[in-house]
Each structure stands twice: as structure tokens, then as C-alpha cells.
Structure 1
Amino acid sequence: MEERNRVFMVEDDRNFGTVMKAYLEINQFDVTWVKDGMLAVKRFQESQFDICILDVMLPNVDGFTIAREIKEINADIPIIFLTAKVMKEDVLEGFSAGADDYITKPFDSEILICKIKAILNRNKRHQDDVQTEYKIGGAIFNSEFRIIHFNGEEHKLSPKEADLLMLLCQNENKVLPRDKALKQVWGETGYFTTRSMDVYITKLRKYLRDVEGVEIVNIHGSGYQLRID
């Protein structure tokens, strides 16, 4: 059975949201519907999603602000705005906030489904092209299988260890800002997650301690750097 794509929907209109959720589910999507924009980012952090559908005009916090915060957590998540705001300035702000599409109400539901599928297919092709193997001195790190190969041995990493090491590899010999790593791996930048990341950095150093010419350096006040000679 094919896995259903997971949709994160923020919509305060209960009638419209009920119809929209039912229509998406009929078309084989799993939908998490949030009615209060103030709760949106917290709910987004609690699960994994394939695409976001956001209303713009929400009480307390607008959809553009939610989109920007979501993009800080997951820069690759596609976002569609569904809104009655049709002014050129609103459309431009939507795309500036990270929108993949901006659809004005009323709209044809079949066209929406086609747009969602097209964005997801494009995103999947992009993910298929993403690098999954990194050379770390004499070690090889496979981010897909979360394994470090070195000197005939393998170390299996936890999901967070692998995500953190992949970020370090992507920023090889550059400073990885602490806040960026926290938001992308943990989804927040609080005290306890900061302490947790320090523990994970210690574990990664242990995995790489025998790899010549490789070290993870603490850049005081900034973040970490994977240095490879």
C-alpha cells in the first residue's frame, strides 16, 4: 500500500476547513488541521509533513509569519497559500515568505490537487538528487542509512546524530551557527535543546576521534565547525 502524503493545514474558517480536509482525504492525503494560528508552529514541530497549506488571514498571527517560522524549522517544506487576499503586494509577500504557490479563493479544488501533486513530485525529484554520502577525511558518512564507515568498522547513528553530522558536512570548514542547527534538528532553540546538542556533538567527536585530520571545533559564541585537513 502506497504511503499517503501528509498535509499540514492552517485554516480558521471551520466550514471551509471541514470541506477542504474531507476533499484532501478523499484524494489520499493525511491531513493535520490547525484552526488557531498561534498553535501552528508548535503543532508543525510535533510531526513530519510533506506540504503545508496556509490561510493568510488568521486571528492573532498571519499566515506569512507562520510560513517564515516553519521555513526556519524546515527550509525544504513546500508551502501553498490559500487566501482571499488578491492584492499584488500580498502575492509578492507570500512568495517572499517562501510560498511555492499562492492560490486565491474561490478556486477549483481539482486544480488545487493537481498543484499539490506537481509540487510534491518536484520536491521528491529534488530530494532524490540530494547528496547522501560524505567523505570525512578517511571516513565515509552515509546520511540516508545513518552509518559512518571507517577502518573496516561501522557506527550506526541516531536520527538526530545523523542530521547534525549532515549539517556539519554541508558546512565543512565553515561555522555552523548554533541556532541554525538547533532549529533544523530540534525545531527550537531553548536551554535544554542547546544542552542536548552539546551532548550530541560530544558523541560525534567520539565517532570521529580516530579519523586523522578531522575535528569538530567549538567556535565560542557562534557554533561549531567540522574541520577537515
Structure 2
Amino acid sequence: MPTVLLIEDEAALGLIVKDSLEVRGFRVEYAADGEEGLRLFQAGPPDIVVADVMMPKLDGFALARQIRTQNQTVPIIFLTARSQTADVVHGFELGGNDYLKKPFSMDELIVRIHALLSRQPAAAPAPVGPLPIGRYRFDYPKQKLCLDGHSADLSNREAELLKRLYDQRNQVLERTTVLRELWGDDSFFNGRSLDVFITRLRRYVKDDPQVQILNIRGIGYKLIV
């Protein structure tokens, strides 16, 4: 039975979502604010986190930042009335996996939970040592990109995207695959978010002309090293 950590400060909505998830076969741990949610997470990591963004004591974004310092893989779904592109991108930067705008249907939430749980990869050995990308050295576990003694700290989402580009270097990384693995689906809105992250990665590697991230029109991207 999958365990959902639900953090929602609107008590009425929180209880409705909790009851609906339990009826559908989930075990639910419920918290009414971010600090309580973090304590429950630390007591025993759930299979997935569903968290409101606007909460007292510790908001959803701050909560996600704390979770990602302890666990890089547990899926996180944000629930929020905020839908500006900057807010959504920020949520993904912090390691969120999906973003559901209020008001939402329970069926949609259930579908997204199942989709994220089904995509959880089997544990793989961590890379040994920094990965060479031209003159750069990419420390994937630490999410750092280093050049000539200087390093840039990558967000969780930037590091995951760069790792996928590295694994497929000099080959095409399909856009649809990245969107489904990192964003949950290949919707137009998520596609715009992916474009923002690709632009940021290009800025990170601009100091080595031997490294390029090409846009393969209609297909995806290619890291040329």
C-alpha cells in the first residue's frame, strides 16, 4: 500500500483529499503545515509527497528544498492556486515533479500520483568521480558544474536534465522522454518550462566553445562534446 504524505493547511480540503486517497487504497499521513509535514517526512519517508505551496510556518517550496537535501528521489506534487510561469519553474527547480492547480479533481490527482509512482526508477550505482563535459567537470551527486577552479551550483532539475544529456551525449535526447520522466507529462506548459531549463544549461556551458546543446527541431536536444 503506497504511502502519501499530504500537507495542506485548508482543513476541509485536506480531509476530503485524505479520505478520497484512503478510499482508493493509499495510506495517508496528513499534516496541516510545512513544519509538521517535514517532521512526518523525517520520521519515515513516504512513497510520494503532495504539498500545498502557500502554507504557514514552512511553505511548500521551502519544504521541497528541505526534502531534497535528504532525499533526491521521492516524487513531489505541488497543489496551488498560483499558476504564473515563474512560480511553476521555481517549483520544478526545487525538485518538484508535478504541479496541480486548484481547484482540481480527485481523479486528476490520482492519475498523476499513479504516473509518478510508476516512473520511479530502480536504484542505480552513483557515478564514480566528476563527469567530463569538455573542460567542465560535472559532479552529479553534489549538483555542481566546475571549470578552472570555479563551480556553479545546479538546481535538482538542472542536474537531472544535464545528467540525461550527458548520458546521451552526441546523440539525440528526445524531448517527450525528458518531459515525461522529469515533468510528469509532455504538455505544452511543461514544454515551455523545459525550454527555460535548456536555456539555463546553455549559459552554464558557454565558456567552452567545444560544448554545445543543440535543439533538434521537432525531436529533442543533443549535447555535443
Bucket of the pairwise TM-score, normalised by the shorter protein:
0.5 to 0.7
After the TM superposition, which segments of 4 or more aligned residues of structure 1 sit over 6 Å from their partners? none
3-state SS of 2:51 partner: strand
Q: Larger radius of gyration, structure 1 or 2?
A: 1
* Alignment partner of 2:2 out of 5, 10, 20: 5
* Structure 2 match to 1:114: 111
The correspondence of residues 1-229 of structure 1 with structure 2, limited to 5 A, is 4-123=1-120, 126-127=121-122, 130-131=123-124, 170=126, 172=128
Distance in 2 separating the partners of 1:111 and 1:42? 27
Distance in 2 separating the partners of 1:69 and 1:116? 21
Following superposition, the deviation at residue 116 of structure 1 comes to: 0.6
CA contact (8 A) 2:5 2:37 kept: no
Provide the aligned length of Structure 1 versus Structure 2: 132
Distance in 1 separating the partners of 2:127 and 2:113? 32
Letter in 2 for 1:34: A
* Structure 2 match to 1:149: none
Following superposition, the deviation at residue 171 of structure 1 comes to: 6.2
TM-score (norm 1): 0.54
Distance in 2 separating the partners of 1:20 and 1:106? 12
Following superposition, the deviation at residue 9 of structure 1 comes to: 0.9
CA contact (8 A) 2:4 2:28 kept: yes
Stretches of structure 1 lacking an aligned partner (at least 5 in a row): 133-169, 175-179, 181-229
CA RMSD of aligned residues (A): 1.9
Stretches of structure 2 lacking an aligned partner (at least 5 in a row): 131-141, 143-225
CA contact (8 A) 2:64 2:94 kept: yes
Distance in 1 separating the partners of 2:124 and 2:35? 35
Following superposition, the deviation at residue 48 of structure 1 comes to: 2.8
3-state SS of 1:21 partner: helix
CA contact (8 A) 2:6 2:49 kept: yes
Following superposition, the deviation at residue 60 of structure 1 comes to: 2.1
Distance in 2 separating the partners of 1:68 and 1:34? 17
Distance in 2 separating the partners of 1:63 and 1:105? 14
Distance in 2 separating the partners of 1:172 and 1:98? 23
Identity %: 38
Distance in 2 separating the partners of 1:118 and 1:49? 16
Distance in 2 separating the partners of 1:24 and 1:74? 23
3-state SS of 1:48 partner: coil
TM-score (norm 2): 0.55
Distance in 1 separating the partners of 2:51 and 2:91? 10
